[in-house]
Every structure is written in structure tokens, then in C-alpha cells.
Amino acid sequence: MRHFAQPTVFLFPTAAMKIHIALLAALFVAIGPTVSGATTPPTLVPPGVRVAGVNIGGMRPYLARRRIRKVFKHQLRVIVKHGVAWKASPYLFASSAGIGATVQHALSTKPGSRLTLPVAVHKEWVRQYVDYLDHVFSRPALDARFLGLRGLRPAVSSARYGVRVRKALMVRRIERSVAANRRTPIHLALAPVVPAKLRSSFSQPVVVIRRLSNRLYLYKGTRFWRSFGVATGQAAYPTPTGVFSILYMQRWPTWIPPASAWAAGAKPIPPGPGNPLGTRWMALSSPGVGIHGTPDDASIGYSESHGCIRMHIPDAEWLFDHVQAGTQVYIVDA
């Protein structure tokens, strides 16, 4: 059987076919670079560009924004003592940071540019945080106090130095750190607070009279100064015990008879030899009682007076020159 070749048929495009061919040609032009492997180069930040110290050179904008935001979110560290730190989010102090606008600006800068990051720092928020630090870490100074007698001797409590936060300095440090996007540790700025009264401030004289042993002890603050033999009250007219003070002092006193049975009919004795008060009188806050000299030296060391504290005249004169009105006087049974 013989085979015959089929005849070749030539088709001529119609108008509709021409339109389809044109559309296919346009599509191939549009996708040609993709099919061939060629792409539009991405938009990148110029090399070496830094924003607030963060290197975003060579990055796409969204990656640059992400890196800056990550660094900005790092917490501030306030070193309080011995490496112990308090941490705080930067958003405690700043409401926003212009990250997007700064990255957009970075795209058009020269390589190696150094850009700042605009941060909206709220000074009042910073002050509130520093006030909180001050509340936690500041403590007032404690003044030394006179405690009275402890074991028959004057005692003074120890003073304690205080500490305060230097608030203005801390506000400046935190503001600068947040504004510059720095996260280096901030050391808590403290200042000592000196007590108004130290133990050494207590150097005023204190008199302690031991009634049973008939001795007077003089202290300068808490330090022993001198002691003297004295005469105290008889059993019928005992020297009162307690805490008193010197009300007033008089040189060359006149003795005025007290309103007491033992002085009935007596008359005032002017200054001079034989005056029962000697040459010095130191009146106490206990009515009718005082410290004074006496011409009756033999009574010293015994309970012989009518309630007053007698001293040898030279001793009373020395004591008179080393105490003053207001000096505390303790009279104890010892």
C-alpha cells in the first residue's frame, strides 16, 4: 500500500489571534527579568551608618528599625552598691523614639554617617523615678543624744551618718542615657548627711552627787573631770535625789534663813567670814537646795547639812568657775 505525504497547510492569523499574540508578548516582557534570573536590587542603608551608636550599615530598612528598637528596649541599670543593680525600662522615661523617621533619613545619608535618635524624654517621669530611688536608699542622719546616767556615769548615744540621693545629678544622668540610647551602668549618686550633734559635741559639764558616799563627781560630757568630798543632808533633812539643774549662781551670797523650824529666829548673814554659804552659791531646781562652800570643813564627808551640798570653800570656788546655769545635776543613792 502506498503512503502519500500529507499536504502542508499554511494558516494565516485572524484579527483575534493577533490580539492574543500581542498580549503574550507584553507578558513576556514584564516577566522576562524574573524568568532570566535578573532582580531589582533592594534598598539598603549606606555602609557604616550608625544611629545612636547602633551600626545599621548595609541593612534593609525593616531590619535596621528592628535592630535599633532592640537596642533601645535594653533596660537601664542603676548600680546601687557592690555591683547590685536596679533595672528600669527606658519607656519609664520616654514616650517614643523616632526610629522609623531616622532610618528613612539614614537611607539618603553618606556612608559612615553618625545619626542621633530623637527620643521624647519626659523630665517629670525621670524625676518621679529618682524620687522613688531617694525614698528607698536615702536615710536621715541620727544625732547623738544625752541618755542620762548609765552605771552612775553620764552616757551619750552614738551618732549615725545618713545618706541622700543626689537627685539633680541622677536626673541628668538618666536623661542623658535615655536620650543618647546609651545603656552603660549608671552609678547611684549618693551624698553623706552629717548629724547635727556628734558624741564629741557633748562636752558640757555634768554634776553627779553620790549622796551615800558624800562625793561630788564632775564630768565633761561623758569624760570624768574631777571629784570632791561633800557634805549632804542629815536623816531629818535629807538631800533630795533625782535630776536637777543649776538655776542661778551667786558670788559672795547673803544667807537668808529658810522657812523651816531649824532656822526659826535666825537672821540673814551678809557675805564674809562665818557665812554658812561660804563665798559661792549654786542654787538647784529643788527649792531651798543648792551647792555651796562652807566654813565648817569638819562636816565634809558626812551627812551633816539641812539638805544642801556643802563643799570646801576653794572647791566650791573652782566648781563655780567650771559650771553654769542650766548644768544638769544628778543626785543618786550610791
Q: Which of 82, 105, 292, 322 is catalytic?
A: 292
Judge whether 20 counts as a catalytic residue: no
Residue 256: C-alpha distances to residues 39, 263, 282 (Å): 122, 10, 14
Residues sharing a CB contact under 8 Å with residue 331, sequence separation 6 or more, in sequence order: 209, 211, 239, 240, 241, 242, 244
**Of 234, 231, 238, 226, whose CA–CA distance to 214 is shortest?**
231
**Of 287, 288, 306, whose CA–CA distance to 296 is shortest?**
306
Residues sharing a CB contact under 8 Å with residue 4, sequence separation 6 or more, in sequence order: none
* Through-space distance between the first and last CA atoms of the chain, rounded to whole angstroms: 158
CA–CA dist 287, 240 (Å, integer): 10
Residues sharing a CB contact under 8 Å with residue 102, sequence separation 6 or more, in sequence order: 51, 68, 115, 116, 117, 118
DSSP 8-class letter at 292: E
Q: Which of 82, 135, 187, 308 is catalytic?
A: 308
CA–CA dist 59, 139 (Å, integer): 50
| Beta bridge partner(s), residue 227 | 217
Coil, helix or strand for 67?
A: helix
CA–CA dist 316, 171 (Å, integer): 62
Judge whether 308 counts as a catalytic residue: yes
Do 234 and 222 touch, CB atoms closer than 8 A?
Answer: no
CA–CA dist 58, 43 (Å, integer): 9
CA 243 from centroid of its chain's CA atoms: 37
Residues with a known catalytic role: 292, 308
